[in-house]
Amino acid sequence: MDKFLIVGLGNIGSEYDGTRHNIGFQVVDFLAQKHSALFQTGRLADVSYCKIKGKMLVLIKPTTFMNLSGRAVKYWLDKENIAPENLLVILDDLAIPLSKLRLRPAGSDGGHNGLKSIQESLGSANYARLRFGIGATYPKGRQVEFVLGKWDEAEIPVVKRKVEKSAELVETYVLRGLEPAMNEVNKMDFSS
């Protein structure tokens, strides 16, 4: 059976719930709920298992905090014997507008500490990542407060649509491959 590791990046603790930086957690929570899967505390991560048409998904939310996410990713890839080409990381991205999602097969960490940690732990940047645009609508010098802040009321409908679409994309990626999933999402605009 094909196995995939789906990683939602975020920080543990109730003070981070519903923040822009925790959107990766929100997406894997939604995916687990959609497939009636429950998260349990595991080593370095909360973990959940679900099957989609004969494919096994191992969903994790690292409990290491963002800057050490790579430890959890490496541990679960090794433990579940999953190849890096079956890894998908979901994260927030300031450089992408709120109206967009970007799926890529590889790339730089783009200054994201979670990706930086994963790259260091795996010794490679060759793994798929779904970047959830959060925009950069903050005053100069207020980046940290923005990223760790909660969504504005006006943003919530777009965020909900993007979370649902992100879960669908994970399914497309797992069932049909990265290319069809990229073709489906990279041109989409959620602003209307």
Catalytic residues: 21
Q: What count of other Cβ atoms lies within 10 Å of the Cβ of residue 92?
A: 22
Report the distance separating Cα 183 and Cα 47, nearest Å: 29
N residues, the chain: 192
Report the distance separating Cα 56 and Cα 3, nearest Å: 5
Q: Measure the CA angle with vertex 118, ends 73 and 172; round to 5°.
A: 65
Q: What is the largest CA-CA distance in the chain?
A: 49
Cβ-Cβ contacts under 8 Å for 38 (sequence gap 6 or more):
32, 48
Q: How far apart are the first and last CA of the chain?
A: 39
